Amino acid sequence: MATIAVLGTLDTKGREHAFVAERIRGRGHRALLIDVGTGAEPAVKPDVSRTEVAAAGGIDLAALVARGDRGECVVGMAEVAPRLLERLVADGTIQGVISLGGGGGTAIASAAMRPLPIGFPKLIVSTLASGNTAHYVGTSDIVMMPAVVDVQGLNRISRTILSRAAGAICGMVEADVATGEGKPLIVASMFGNTTKCIEAAIPLLEQAGYEVLVFHATGTGGRAMEALIASGLVAGVLDVTTTELADELVGGVLSAGPERLDAAAKHGVPAIVAPGCLDMVNFGEQASLPKQFADRRLYVHNPQVTLMRTTPAECAELGRLVATKLNASRAPVTVLMPRRGISVISAAGGPFHDPEADTALFSALETSLRPDIPRTSLDCDINDPAFARACVEALLANIRQHANAP
């Protein structure tokens, strides 16, 4: 029997959360009703009151409510609810969490769930689940389920959705999880244009005793990888696809934010870095391309994705940016540069083949790096098996050097 937290604004959505709690109990689990409402008195009796939630985060709820600003109240609860849930997870009180909400409830619930460990069951039934949920989910594994109708009252539609949601969270806590053999982890970044490199590297790393987690460099993937590196669970970083930095610099749609490439340097994790796919900036369908880029060199990757070639000036700036980030490294890091192409389409004969731009990138990167950071040029493209082997050998050497450091 597991205990599942049922967290929500019980003043406005008490009946609905109580319905879910009842369904959870019907499946043989315990339900812990947690009130994060800040308006009228809760419609049902909570197991954890809003005052207790506020106290867990050290805020004066009465003073907050007295100011009469609903937005401020939502922000306040979004700040304290994570502390309560983290404590309940850490001490083993709960094994899963579910919430129902509109805008305010979803904001509070998602803020409370995002810091919880990857793999911990977390589900939100939300009126916002069919839109852009990136700012709610972040780099977590929150499951968002569309409410279809508003979370307001119980009717034939809402009863169906909420019953299925209760069944889903119960199924999540009941599921056996195969976590593997506990091998040390290496994270790797990949794009379609660097897939062959990673495919060649993975078996070599596995033979060396590591488990490899691959992240798709689409913005969210880069942020998730950085978060995992920062968590302290990673033994090494195979960052051969730094393309998200180009989107951040030029204004593409797949930026991972300005912190991309910072975590390994900041937290002292051994790494190798390559300028993979810095030849391209990502946009949506061609009609969505910003007007200022209309005359640039473009490549239609598919009907939904248009790639734009980075210029020599942009490449030089990207080289300096990568070097600046790596210069902060506290653990061994090596830079590898594939001189014959940094993506499938920048190799000789490809639509983004541009030796001038590549030279600007490599030159700025080499001259801006700290003198003690090794940099290696290879006479091949990034997807050549020889490049993958060189990356793996450099990474394993860096891991050994880090392990033997005083």
Helix (H, G, I), strand (E, B) or coil at 399: helix
Residue 99, beta-bridge partner list: 7, 124
402 neighbors 331 (Cβ within 8 angstroms): yes
Q: Are residues 235 and 151 in the same domain?
A: no
How many domains does the chain contain in total? 2
pLDDT attached to residue 180: 62
CA dist 365 and 347 (Å) reads 19
Q: What is the CA radius of gyration of the chain?
A: 24
Q: Are residues 132 and 218 in the same domain?
A: no
pLDDT attached to residue 73: 77
Which two tokens mark 56? 């867990």
Q: Are residues 191 and 110 in the same domain?
A: no
CATH code at 151? 3.40.50.12020
213 neighbors 256 (Cβ within 8 angstroms): no
Is residue 150 in a domain? yes
CA 163 to chain centre: 29
Q: Are residues 137 and 162 in the same domain?
A: yes
CA dist 142 and 144 (Å) reads 6
pLDDT in tens, the chain (406 residues): 999 999 999 999 999 999 999 999 999 999 999 999 988 899 999 999 999 998 888 887 777 777 767 778 788 889 999 999 999 999 999 999 999 999 889 999 999 999 998 889 999 999 999 888 888 998 889 999 999 999 988 999 999 999 999 999 999 999 988 766 689 999 999 999 999 999 999 999 999 999 999 999 999 899 999 999 998 889 999 999 999 999 999 999 999 999 999 999 999 999 999 999 999 999 999 998 999 998 999 999 888 899 999 999 999 999 999 999 999 999 999 999 999 999 999 999 999 999 999 999 999 999 999 999 999 999 999 999 999 999 999 999 999 999 998 7
Q: Are residues 166 and 217 in the same domain?
A: no
> Which residue among 125, 152, 174 closes a domain?
174
CATH code at 295? 3.40.50.12030
Angle at CA of residue 182, ends 177 and 188, nearest 5°: 95
**Continuous segment of H or E residues that includes residue 271:** strand 271-273
Is residue 180 in a domain? no
Q: Are residues 7 and 155 in the same domain?
A: yes
CA 45 to chain centre: 36
CA dist 142 and 220 (Å) reads 14
Helix (H, G, I), strand (E, B) or coil at 256: coil
Q: Are residues 168 and 190 in the same domain?
A: no
> Which residue among 146, 174, 202 closes a domain?
174
236 neighbors 210 (Cβ within 8 angstroms): yes
Q: Are residues 314 and 260 in the same domain?
A: yes
Q: Are residues 150 and 219 in the same domain?
A: no
Query: What is residue 381's DSSP assignment?
Result: -
Q: At what angle do helices 103-113 and 70-90 cross, to 10 degrees?
A: 30
Is residue 124 in a domain? yes
pLDDT attached to residue 181: 66
What does pTM read for this prediction?
Answer: 0.78
Q: Are residues 149 and 278 in the same domain?
A: no
Residue 345 domain boundaries = 185-404
CB hemisphere CA count around 303 (13 angstroms) = 0
Q: Are residues 86 and 222 in the same domain?
A: no
Q: Are residues 30 and 169 in the same domain?
A: yes
> Which residue among 124, 154, 174 closes a domain?
174
219 conformational bin, left if phi > 0, alpha if psi -120 to 50, beta if neither: left
Is residue 179 in a domain? no
**Continuous segment of H or E residues that includes residue 216:** strand 211-216
Helix (H, G, I), strand (E, B) or coil at 304: coil
